[in-house]
Amino acid sequence: MREIGIGLAGFGTVGAGVFLNVEKNRALLRERTGCDFVVRQVAVRDLAKKRAAALPSGCATDQWRALLDNPAIAVIVELMGGIDEPLELVREAIKRGKIVVTGNKALLAEHGAEIFRLAAEKKVPVFYEAAVAGGIPIIKAVREAFVANHFQRIRGIINGTSNYILTRMAESGMDFASALAEAQAAGYAESDPTLDVNGWDAGHKAIILASLAYGFWVPGRDVLVEGIEKISPEDIRFAAQLGYTIKLLAFIDAGADGAVEVSVQPSLVPNGNILASVRGVFNAIALRGDVVGDALFYGRGAGQDPTASSVIGDLADAALALESPRASCGFIPHTLYGKLRPAADVVSPFYLRLGVDDRPGVLARIAGLLGEAGIGISSVIQPETEDGKKAALVLMIHDAPRGRMLSALERIRALDCVHDEPALYRVEAAA
């Protein structure tokens, strides 16, 4: 039996899951891969920390650089989180010819171009299935199974924590903070959950998916990313009344001109769209290729075992790559695309909720400003108010370019009859 020596950098939610599941299914992995995956060294930050899973005895260190110097390690599995130290670890591993497996989407979104340039130069593969959508094998699908396709559109619910929070808020009336605490306790959230709720964890994953789909590294500064922090129970209720569910959606679209839209936005998804029924920690990615047509991927997007499943899949790929070197090191750049569509130019329908004075003429003034911008209203709800003075006004807006919609909203906000922070969300198509 061929032994594959592994250096595990990180023994938290995912790292421990990889170790435990390799142990649990060792016999099956031996049968399927013809290899024995042996964890030779484990790096953690704090050796004295109390852990749900005990560190493997005799091979734990608090010096991750020791993994690089260990000649018995052929594959470095980076599951530390953060950016600076993982970048150094990954760079050094590649330079020393050690294959890299990582679940670190922040690292790849910010430094993917450099990492894969180095990987190609040194002919050392970098595998990263766990970086996008936890247990769903979407990287392999986009990179390999759909190699024949131009991707026309990709839609994804790709942050388990925010989908969990939105589901709990919508279905149990739970408040935001309690739902986030549950997601953290379940091991879904990042060590800094800010990235989950401000949309950037999904943003990093969208950047990786789009880069892979279109063959150029998408710069994060040009990607519109909004989180779920401002979604109110009121908007969740109005959306439900109108037949929608609010989801944090990643939009990746290539237009006929070849320009690519990449964004992450809280959006109203029609209940008839399958993505509206994706609940809890589950993720889903719906993609359309010009050859395959529509395809849908669904599964657990975070958590110990689903993520470990993806990392172990990468270990099997690493074992194959050690046996017969590959032409591809994980990302193949090309020049068929390369241009991003500015967020302001993206056209979509919108949901707009305003706090307004409940008096005659208000709706006409707002509709007038929208009309002057060439923006049409498709429906209006204004529930009766208790005090008869202030009302919520919900407008469903026809297709409009985002930039024009935002300019019109600025003018609307300046009206003396409009109060409070408005809520503006993109509305997704029926399918």
Residues identified as active-site: 205
The interface partner of residue 15, options being ligand NAP, ligand HSE, none and the CB cut-off 5 to 8 Å by kind, is ligand NAP
The interface partner of residue 135, options being ligand NAP, ligand HSE, none and the CB cut-off 5 to 8 Å by kind, is none
Q: Does 187 bind ligand NAP (CB under 6 A)?
A: yes
Cβ-based nearer residue to ligand NAP, 104 or 163: 104
Q: Does 81 bind ligand NAP (CB under 6 A)?
A: yes
Q: Is 374 left (phi over 0), alpha (psi -120 to 50) or beta?
A: left
Smallest gap from Cβ 47 to ligand NAP, in A, equals 7
Cβ-based nearer residue to ligand NAP, 8 or 395: 8
Cβ-based nearer residue to ligand HSE, 189 or 375: 189
Q: Does 80 bind ligand NAP (CB under 6 A)?
A: yes
Q: Which of 68, 76, 90, 130 binds ligand NAP (CB under 6 A)?
A: 130
CA pair distance 379, 84, nearest whole angstrom? 49
The interface partner of residue 187, options being ligand HSE, ligand NAP, none and the CB cut-off 5 to 8 Å by kind, is ligand NAP
Smallest gap from Cβ 332 to ligand NAP, in A, equals 23
Pairing of strands 260-270, 244-254: antiparallel
Q: Does 14 bind ligand NAP (CB under 6 A)?
A: yes
Smallest gap from Cβ 172 to ligand NAP, in A, equals 22
Q: Which two tokens stand for residue 97?
A: 């010819």
The interface partner of residue 79, options being ligand NAP, ligand HSE, none and the CB cut-off 5 to 8 Å by kind, is ligand NAP
Cβ-based nearer residue to ligand HSE, 159 or 263: 159
Q: Does 282 bind ligand NAP (CB under 6 A)?
A: no
What is the CB-side half-sphere exposure of residue 49 using CA atoms within 13 A?
15
Cβ-based nearer residue to ligand NAP, 330 or 401: 330
Smallest gap from Cβ 289 to ligand HSE, in A, equals 24
Q: Does 75 bind ligand NAP (CB under 6 A)?
A: no
Cβ-based nearer residue to ligand NAP, 310 or 348: 310
Contacting residues toward ligand NAP, per CB under 6 A: 10-15, 43-46, 49, 64, 79-81, 85, 103-105, 130, 134, 187-188, 190-191, 302-303, 307
